[in-house]
Amino acid sequence: MPVGQSMVVSTIINENNITLDDFLNLVYERIIVSISKLPENYPLDEEIALAMFILRGSADFNRSLYALDLRNPTLRYVDNIFKILLSSKNLMERLNLNFRELQPQHVAGERERNTQIRINLKWFYDNVICRYPDINKYKTDILRINRRNLGEVHAYHMFEDRLIFYKQKILGRDLSDNEIRALRRDLEFSENIEYVPENKFNIRNQKIVAFAREMFEDKCVGCGDIYDIADRSFVMPRNNRYYFEVNHVIAYASDSDAVDVLDNLVKLCPVCHRALTPHRAYPDLQRRIISNMLDSRPEVCNFVHSMMPAHYKSPVDYVFDNLK
Ligand SMILES: [Zn+2]
């Protein structure tokens, strides 16, 4: 190691004998809770990008992107990355997903390559490298020397749609040639990268709700154990799935997006969703639906506990008092 540089080594003692996957999941839960408590002007997008890209990956000066291989990711790992990105402000618009499993070279068996997450190179340089130049001096120097070749700051289309596609259709599958051809058709796969005008950024809330609608199980967490969904909702011709509404467990208030995270969302049938409007249904029904929402996934319960002021004894009371 060159003179003047120091190394930081941390040791984690596994006293409770938990698996690495479980450990990383606990770390993720802590991160999500901390993100929801950050001040409005915190450089969250910059720090998420820093954590993702600074130690690995490489610059592609031809495409003006900085690329990182996803090496044998597990479903839970991808989910957690996705949830953190959904909590970012606009970072997803700087990202692009490259399905190299579907490319001709991979299909022909010439080069087996992993899916890559890529970030706009100029944005990465301006907002991450220049802000934290000392963390990876080697990468900093490469980009600084080539700073006239970084291209422009751009936003990209549909990162979240592509990530959902990756999770559902590619991740962990051993795809046959026919399946790959079909997927390429579905995706209208192309090497061209589309740009989005800067003023067309999606609103964060709509993205998270759209993701929840797509990915959560088609079951009303309020009444799914009592009623058949066919008696409570209808099938949508668009995708042959039952219609559900996505509900913020701690009600969404327009003045704060702290509760606008995936762990605070559940799927309800239209009846249960309507019943949660204050005073529209009797309190015992509202409390039963709230209790079922809290029990639906451990992360929902953890999130509500983390947001609940100390004077509350029960998360059901807290959610009930904040119905909107
Ligand atoms: Zn229901």
**258: exposed, middle or buried (C-beta count within 10 Å: 0-12, 13-18, 19+)?**
middle
DSSP tag of 227: S
Q: Work out the average pLDDT over 60-70.
A: 91
Q: Which pLDDT tens digit goes with each residue over 117-166?
A: 999 999 999 999 999 999 999 999 999 999 999 999 988 877 877 788 78
> Cα(145)–Cα(127) distance, rounded to whole angstroms?
17
Which residues, other chains included, contact 291 with Cβ-Cβ below 8 Å and sequence gap of 6+? 316
CA of 235 to the centre of ligand 1 (A): 15
User: Sorting pLDDT into bands at 50, 70 and 90, what band is 199?
Assistant: very low
| Angle in degrees, 0-180, between the axes of helices 75-86 and 44-53, rounded to the nearest 10 | 150
CA angle 133, 139, 142 (to 5 degrees): 105
CA of 300 to the centre of ligand 1 (A): 17
Are 50 and 124 a contacting pair, CB within 8 Å?
no
CA of 319 to the centre of ligand 1 (A): 17
CA of 79 to the centre of ligand 1 (A): 25
CA of 211 to the centre of ligand 1 (A): 20
> Cα(138)–Cα(149) distance, rounded to whole angstroms?
17
Classify 281 as helix, strand or coil.
coil
User: Sorting pLDDT into bands at 50, 70 and 90, what band is 245?
Assistant: very high
Q: Which pLDDT tens digit goes with each residue over 81-98?
A: 888 888 888 898 899 888
- Does the pLDDT value for residue 190 go beyond 80? no
CA of 296 to the centre of ligand 1 (A): 13
CA of 286 to the centre of ligand 1 (A): 11
CA of 269 to the centre of ligand 1 (A): 4
- Does the pLDDT value for residue 3 go beyond 60? no
* Length of the chain as a residue count: 324
CA of 227 to the centre of ligand 1 (A): 8
Residue-level pLDDT at 219: 96
End-to-end CA distance of the chain: 58
CA of 248 to the centre of ligand 1 (A): 14
Rg (Cα) of the chain, in Å, rounded? 22
- Identify which of 99, 105, 212 has the alpha carbon closest to the alpha carbon of residue 166: 99
CA of 315 to the centre of ligand 1 (A): 20
CA of 213 to the centre of ligand 1 (A): 15
pTM over 0.85: no
User: Sorting pLDDT into bands at 50, 70 and 90, what band is 205?
Assistant: low
CA of 238 to the centre of ligand 1 (A): 22
CA of 289 to the centre of ligand 1 (A): 8
CA of 13 to the centre of ligand 1 (A): 44
CA of 107 to the centre of ligand 1 (A): 45
If one counts every other C-beta atom within 10 angstroms of the C-beta of residue 59, the result is 19
**269: exposed, middle or buried (C-beta count within 10 Å: 0-12, 13-18, 19+)?**
buried
Q: Which pLDDT tens digit goes with each residue over 262-271?
A: 899 999 999 9
CA of 275 to the centre of ligand 1 (A): 9
Q: Which pLDDT tens digit goes with each residue over 266-291?
A: 999 999 999 999 889 999 999 999 99
Name, of 58-72, 103-117, 166-180, 216-230, the range with top average pLDDT. 216-230
Structure tokens belonging to residue 12: 């984690």
CA distances from 29 to 32, 81, 197, 226 (A): 5, 11, 34, 31
CA of 317 to the centre of ligand 1 (A): 20
CA of 209 to the centre of ligand 1 (A): 18
